[in-house]
Structure 1
Amino acid sequence: MGLLPAGTVQAQAITERTRQKQAAEKEQADLRQRLSALKRDIDQTEAAKGNAADALAASEQAISRANRSLRDLALEQQQTESRLAQLVRQLNQLSAQVNAQQAQLSRLLREQYVAGNEDRIKLLLSGDNPNRINRELQYLGYVSQAQAKLIDTLRANLQAIRSNKAETQNAKFELEEIAQEENEQKQTLEKEKAKRATLLSQLSTRLSAQRKEVGHIEQDQQRLSSLVDRLAQLIEQQKKAEAEAREKRRQEQLAKARAEREKRLAEQRARAAERAAQAAKAGKPAPRMPDPSDAIDDDEPPQSASLGRNDTVPEPQSENFGKPFASQRGQLRLPVRGDLAARFGSRRGDGPSSRGLFIRAAEGAEVRAVAGGRVVFADWLRGFGNLVIVDHGNQYMTIYGNNQAILKRAGDVVKGGETIATAGNSGGNEQSGLYFEMRHQGRAFDPLTWVTTR
């Protein structure tokens, strides 16, 4: 009834938690690898070099990762604490049941010890009516069965208590591990913030000058457009690959169903041939041989094979995600609360017109997805800092730039209104806030024609 050795329990808890984290990372590794290759290709073909904001990239990425880790750890801690509280409640209930069952069993065993086997012996030697003796013996048998059932239930509850205590200890070890990771991430965050502040003070003059250069602004916009176009190509390639994979699975199902039909037909023919031989021997007419036309048409799979079409996860649903993005025009809301500092089409000094909005907001303010979709980019990009791009289907994308922290990873499915980032001034931006764009087929359009402020 004792606990498992502490070292063993801790090793199991850490191993299971680490395994789950590694599995989650592995699921998105391929997508992140392709996106990294795409970003490297854009960087290598970039004409502008020596951009002052590039010096901030590593530090701003580290700040983003640390903030995302702290948020994830806080959520994990909350879930683990909830699980721990539930385990404690279950333990209290089980302990109460065990105490009551032990008291009941103790009373029954004491009564049985006092009575011994006299009841059965007296019945057998009483010379009473055999039917009455049989009924009494059956009654005593029922009592013995009830005692055995009570013992089995007690044994099961004792095992449940041992399992509960082991799970409780695992949860405590996980909380300790989470607390240690949180402390490490906080130290990393403070260190990177200090590093970025130092870099900003050193680069302030160069950053200010480059923000005003028309060439840099145009290159930033071209870089983002190039990224959006390539992401669209990547999405189409992925859809094509998924369609091909589904068709391949369908063909495999068809082939499997066809092979099963041919096998059944061969078995029927063999049995029919055997019956025909027996009929000929007995002088009777031979039964009809199975006709291949009796089999199901090869052009369509049987009903059992149609289950293979349901092997992919459907697009996630939320309050808006489930109907075309275009139908939500006029119903969307801006992704962050704040002042509208720059509008779509406004001039940036002597540079090109803005293709999005800049919403001034406090550092750390929550940035929310305007509608459900899938994150297709979550990384640092020159000119836009920590950048998130969400694909909403039908070649609609929303773009969220200059974030302090990115809270989602490429490949994540998000719901409308879900927090995906926190506002900031990454990428060398002067003010804290969010740069927001909406695009269709790669072309930017005015978000204010799609949102409501009510």
Structure 2
Amino acid sequence: MRFPIEKSAAGILLCGLLALSVAGSAVAAKPTERSRQKAAAEAQRAGIQQKLTALKKEISRTESEKEDVADTLAESEEKISDANRALRDLSQETLETNVRLQDLATEQERLAQTIVSQKKQLSALLREHYVAGNEDRIKLLLSGDNPNRINRDLQMMAYVSQAQAKLLASLNANLAQVEDNREKVENAKVELEEIAQEQRDQKSVLEKEKARRAALLGELSSKLVVQRKQADSLQRDEQRMSGLVDQLTRLIREQAEAERKRQEALAAARAKARLEAEAAAKARALARAEAKAERDRLAREAAKAGKPAPKPLPPEPEEPKVAEQAQPVERTPDISLAPAAPAGAFAAMKGRLAAPISGSIAARFGAKRGGDGPSWKGMFIKAPEGTEVRSVAVGRVVHSGWMRGFGNLIIIDHGGSYLSIYANNQTLLKRLGDAVRAGEPIASAGNTGGNEESGLYFELRHLGKAFDPASWVKF
């Protein structure tokens, strides 16, 4: 009896240790969870991005002016923004992965201590079993010994066997958890290697694009200066912005209307299902009442004839819930442009919005641009390149990309037809469809779009019309 138990315990331990030693090679071949999540996120974002790309092309088709020299910088400035955002995201991923690795190391140490303790307990049980004489049940029953003692010994043997079985099961579970933990550690290490390689690639792209942009700026500097002073060019920039805002407003309203209709259809489907369920319940109740009346009549007749009473009706089945009956209305998967805040929340913050950036105001709403040009529709705030730009309130990103005259541009919908606009950024940190909190970094300041100075161009709009941010934001 001793040897089979010892062999089974040793076998389990040996299998666990062998599993730990050979499973490492399989992990590296598997795609990491990070890679799968990244691919899924990009696929989901593609739908709404197509809509915005078509929208920008539609705006471009309505323009009659020749190509702006700032367009030459567009590709380079977009790549610099993408590389900077990717580097920031990768840094955050590195921190999160390292924290996960620390947690896994702590868990691994705890499991190792538990397994050592369980091995000691198993050894003690086997030793006690050996010292007890290793008598099996058949030998005890045939020994002719005192029945009380035999019963007591049999119970003790049962307790020992149960303890051994539980301990072996627990040890096996912990060994499996160690293996799972080890796979997670290997996966996290592979992810860190992926992140490190992506960081090296993005840094290389960033350095090349910065050098390319600097060279282009040197070639185009005189043309940019002349073009920036042309009133018709500034006017076209403003018209372009107004066209984009109008199109975004229309798109947001279409999505809101589609969502309203979806909710109405869902409510109608639920109401219809509820009515059908109520009608079915009434029909079942009527049929049951008729069946009960018939059973009572037969029971009375049987009692008169001295026959056994008919069997009682079976219990009524439980009513299905209406929510389970209602069929959900299908919705096309898409990134929502619905605001992340309820209507009225932004208007209630008038005069209490935090400044989007720290810097000095170089141009105010309503002032003439270039002395005799069109009026500013927003404010230009001078700030060093790379200074964080923050959202003035909770909302959702409805545009994130390069635009002629405004460079790297981000627009946030705050609900109630209020939009905030942040232009000339070096880097856009948020993507289309992202929900943002008040004060959350969304970009970094720059001089993209052919701007002379580094900083942020900031606008607030309601129902498509620009208004003075000075009475809303605490600059």
Correspondence for 1:187: 204
Q: Which moved more, 1:218-227 or 1:269-278?
A: 269-278
Change (3 A) 1:245 1:169: same
Deviation by residue 1:26-68 (Cα, 9 ceiling, x = unmatched): 2222221111111111111112212110111111111111111
* TM-score normalised per structure 2: 0.84
Correspondence for 1:416: 438
Describe the SS at the equivalent of 2:354.
Answer: coil
Correspondence for 1:244: 261
Q: CA–CA distance in 2 between the matches of 1:305 and 1:212?
A: 66
Selected match of 1:227 from 235, 244, 260: 244
Deviation by residue 1:90-131 (Cα, 9 ceiling, x = unmatched): 111101110111122112212312333349656974743x45
Q: CA–CA distance in 1 between the matches of 2:99 and 2:163?
A: 37
Say if 2:374 is the partner of 1:352. Answer: yes
Deviation by residue 1:276-300 (Cα, 9 ceiling, x = unmatched): 5545555669xxxxxxxxx9xxxxx
Correspondence for 1:213: 230
Code of the aligned partner of 1:335: P
Change (3 A) 1:315 1:97: farther
Q: CA–CA distance in 2 between the matches of 1:434 and 1:336?
A: 8
Describe the SS at the equivalent of 1:77.
Answer: helix
Asked if the contact 2:343–2:416 (Cα under 8 Å) also holds between the matched residues in 1, the reply is no
Change (3 A) 1:141 1:274: same
Code of the aligned partner of 1:346: A
Correspondence for 1:333: 354
* Structure 1 residue runs without a partner (length 5+): 286-294, 296-300
Code of the aligned partner of 1:401: A
Correspondence for 1:106: 123
Asked if the contact 1:3–1:162 (Cα under 8 Å) also holds between the matched residues in 2, the reply is no
1:161-172 matches, within 5 Å, as 161-172=178-189
Deviation by residue 1:63-100 (Cα, 9 ceiling, x = unmatched): 11111111111111211111111111111110111011
Change (3 A) 1:303 1:179: closer
Code of the aligned partner of 1:105: L
Q: CA–CA distance in 1 between the matches of 2:363 and 2:274?
A: 61
Correspondence for 2:15: none
Code of the aligned partner of 1:426: T
Give aligned pairs, total: 434
Q: CA–CA distance in 1 between the matches of 2:339 and 2:54?
A: 26
Describe the SS at the equivalent of 1:422.
Answer: strand
Selected match of 2:345 from 306, 316, 324: 324
Q: CA–CA distance in 1 between the matches of 2:228 and 2:301?
A: 100
Describe the SS at the equivalent of 1:393.
Answer: coil
Deviation by residue 1:266-323 (Cα, 9 ceiling, x = unmatched): 55555555555545555669xxxxxxxxx9xxxxx967779979x9999757xxx896
Describe the SS at the equivalent of 2:392.
Answer: coil
Q: CA–CA distance in 1 between the matches of 2:301 and 2:76?
A: 92
Q: CA–CA distance in 2 between the matches of 1:323 and 1:105?
A: 67
Code of the aligned partner of 1:186: K
**Percentage of matched positions with identical amino acids:** 49
Describe the SS at the equivalent of 1:335.
Answer: coil
Correspondence for 1:2: 20
> Cα RMSD (Å) of the superposition?
3.0
Selected match of 1:439 from 448, 456, 461: 461
Change (3 A) 1:174 1:398: same
Change (3 A) 1:284 1:378: farther
Describe the SS at the equivalent of 2:30.
Answer: helix
Describe the SS at the equivalent of 2:155.
Answer: helix
Change (3 A) 1:3 1:357: farther
Q: CA–CA distance in 2 between the matches of 1:3 and 1:340?
A: 64
Q: CA–CA distance in 1 between the matches of 2:275 and 2:343?
A: 36
* Structure 2 residue runs without a partner (length 5+): 1-18, 303-318
Q: Which moved more, 1:136-145 or 1:50-59?
A: 136-145
Deviation by residue 1:145-166 (Cα, 9 ceiling, x = unmatched): 1221111111100010111111
